[in-house]
Structure 1
């Protein structure tokens, strides 16, 4: 793997070189190049935050080079090797993210066929990426490997494929189950030489995994493909465990009933893993880099929303040298934080839709839908009742909304509106913006008659920009 610079688009990229062995025949060389091009064709059709993006493929002097999204981080295998077994909640989130990425591939008739800890990458910002579709096989497409040759990694190859069957989406589910098994135990389900791992996969039951994830991991590794859970059901179970909630019942009757551990240990573990950055051009994996002022990568690690606007910024917005501490809160729309003073305040909320556990579980597609729906929602109401007891508005107050308009200078897309009090002057300004898979709303409110309407609008915009920069810095 090489670090390179795309001079045409002025960006860093990862270039994967396929090294061809010496002494190959022309046919062998041709087949290997064909396999690399097929990898490119398979990857180029896949678009998902959990799948590394392929930009281009170049064949130079009968040697293929894959130009891919530059990612920084470390593999799940390396992380477990250094830090040991992972907290169940973190493993559950990894499993759900990878399974959703696999579902996208399966919907396009693509199997990964080598899901393993070494091909699951954890980004510095918490994004989970499935890499190396180099042996991916599309349904209806003949394999370029020799007949009877099973490709994959022993210990992570589904039993049916070891028996010579082509396998299917359920085979990837088994391999992911084995991957999660290792993350939970700190060691593979089946150990030993390659031959011993293959023999154990075909003859031995799945070693038990204790805790809330045990039933779903065991079900994913069922010997018969038909006995494995539907991916949508498995994702739901994994998301529930990741959120620290009781897991729903599996169709097989298995339950995840063990006590759910607190989230603090998982967050500390994530933080410890994230400080280690993979270096060197010879690395075999890669993860999303922080892309600065351009498009942001997915945000998947829960954050304290009260850290998204720094005290200094709050003080400047509220015009005080002693800014108030953020007061965290949450409702059905998502986690939020307020910085209130008597007569004025700043508020922020990271939005979620009704179909996701928390904002960090949203995809970019769902965030786009949520952003559009929010814009439509606020455009419906000409008058709004509001209160904010912490700043002195204890009774419901009627306000008139200004027209919803597009806002420039924050996020990848944004809209805003203001509220006018009974006197006709602005009392608050609101900005909603989308950054990757997050939708954030920011509010600045003042009861003072000193700031101009433009001052109030600019205060809300500055608060939104400060939170956006905090998100980018964290990612």
Structure 2
């Protein structure tokens, strides 16, 4: 790929989002003169060349299987391109909002609307199941409500063709905590009934405004395996509980569930479905020695060495917390006294909290100089405190890969006096020792060749933190600028370790 053009025909315009599996771009199909969405799939760093080639082949094969699906409720896949040793998926561009965004912004849906969404998604899933394809990540963020009224199931990126291994099983995510069927958490491959369970959990959010199982990723996984299925009020409640029955045979047939959902969507009562209470009750959590085998590799099931492996997230009592699960004010991660020292002022500025799609952030700007900090998340996670160790590692590597691509960077910071975008040269990325469990940094140079900004990214347990120090003054040396960013990162890391 060159000059932002893929396969000589798709012009990448701007990123639409990013997550553990890669990045989604708004692109222009120059040949057909239409806007499309392009998903850039990323692979874990350090893979052997043969494993990397096999993963690309497998991803293309899975995309081919997805492309065979023809249904208005399934996002259309137009093309698959392999460039830069990885696959790029060209899909139809949808305009509207996800179910997750709709509920977050407008609150719970009436039962008739939630039932209609569920019926449309289940009909789309049935088309995939009929061709032996499981979705495996049905959740509110993957159900799209278009401006034209379509309900579309998106992101078959971790779908599985029956009888085949998947790209995901090379170590990436399989599902989202709270929406993964219990049998998959236990290491079973699952089937259509597993997607039905995930749809039940998704509709529970649509109907009530909140998840069936609350808490951190680890707590949601534990609850899925140990707590009874919750029953929402109203006509849909018993039906969703039946869809989320613990044992797959106890769940209704997809056709029966579609008919029941359509009946509620039409304003009628849901038919009574026979449910075996024994089949729906959760079993006792399996144990091996003293380790509870339910927290799957950073809150996801992972496959390594041909066997399903699990990691227990617990507090080891050591210097590095195992996971941060309680939201905190990021503006408290650097004290006023520390800010004053970094900015060389006896009157430190008041912290300026902010937030965007990447996560909560805080800035301490004065005229000509500033310190900034952000605790980050990927696009698949609600907030940084719901990140897992595995997803944080993936996010950290994706950030490293992202910044390594661009030598020229547009830079602005209105609060310190840079109101118009300025072009800056990035220095080579370099590892940083002694901060977090892994860290890297880079600097930005202005037209004179002097460093005016220094950036540090580090990962501590399940959090990824970025720290920036910028100055417009001529007096600080390049080393002064780098040391200021380093000190800010060290201060925030100390605060996190103390909080953990």
The TM-score with structure 2 as length reference comes to 0.49
> Shift of residue 253 of structure 1?
9.4
Structure index of larger Rg:
1
**Equivalent residue for 1:184?**
207
Of residues 210, 220, 224 in structure 1, which corresponds to 2:243? 220
Q: Retained in 2: the 8 A contact 1:238–1:247?
A: yes
Pair 253,109 (structure 1): closer, same or farther in 2 beyond 3 Å:
same
- Residue 154 (str. 1) matches residue 182 (str. 2): no
Listed one character per residue, the Cα deviations across residues 55-99 of structure 1 (whole Å, up to 9, x for unaligned) are 100001212111111111111111111112111111000000000
- Residue 114 (str. 1) matches residue 148 (str. 2): no
Which runs of 5 or more structure 2 residues have no equivalent in the other structure?
A: 1-23, 278-356, 358-377, 381-500
- Residue 133 (str. 1) matches residue 156 (str. 2): yes
Listed one character per residue, the Cα deviations across residues 198-237 of structure 1 (whole Å, up to 9, x for unaligned) are 1100000112200000011000000010000011111111
> Shift of residue 20 of structure 1?
4.3
> Shift of residue 12 of structure 1?
1.8
> Shift of residue 246 of structure 1?
2.6
**Equivalent residue for 1:376?**
none
**Equivalent residue for 1:325?**
none
- Residue 98 (str. 1) matches residue 121 (str. 2): yes
The 2-side partners of 1:234 and 1:160 are apart by: 20
Pair 5,145 (structure 1): closer, same or farther in 2 beyond 3 Å:
closer
**Equivalent residue for 1:77?**
100
Q: Retained in 1: the 8 A contact 2:158–2:167?
A: no
The 1-side partners of 2:185 and 2:255 are apart by: 26
Pair 251,167 (structure 1): closer, same or farther in 2 beyond 3 Å:
same
Listed one character per residue, the Cα deviations across residues 84-124 of structure 1 (whole Å, up to 9, x for unaligned) are 21111110000000000000000001100010011100001
Listed one character per residue, the Cα deviations across residues 173-196 of structure 1 (whole Å, up to 9, x for unaligned) are 000000001111111111222211
Provide the secondary structure at the position in 1 that maps to 2:252.
coil
> Shift of residue 14 of structure 1?
1.2
Provide the secondary structure at the position in 1 that maps to 2:70.
coil
Listed one character per residue, the Cα deviations across residues 359-413 of structure 1 (whole Å, up to 9, x for unaligned) are xxxxxxxxxxxxxxxxxxxxxxxxxxxxxxxxxxxxxxxxxxxxxxxxxxxxxxx
- Residue 174 (str. 1) matches residue 197 (str. 2): yes
The 2-side partners of 1:228 and 1:253 are apart by: 9
* Structure having the larger proportion of residues in strand: 2
Q: Retained in 1: the 8 A contact 2:239–2:270?
A: no
Of residues 255, 268, 272 in structure 2, which corresponds to 1:245? 268
Which runs of 5 or more structure 1 residues have no equivalent in the other structure?
A: 255-278, 286-475
- Residue 46 (str. 1) matches residue 46 (str. 2): no
The 1-side partners of 2:255 and 2:276 are apart by: 16
The 2-side partners of 1:140 and 1:24 are apart by: 24
Provide the secondary structure at the position in 2 that maps to 1:65.
strand
The 1-side partners of 2:173 and 2:38 are apart by: 27
The 1-side partners of 2:110 and 2:58 are apart by: 38
Question: 1:229-240 to 2 correspondence within 5 Å?
Answer: 229-240=252-263
The TM-score with structure 1 as length reference comes to 0.51
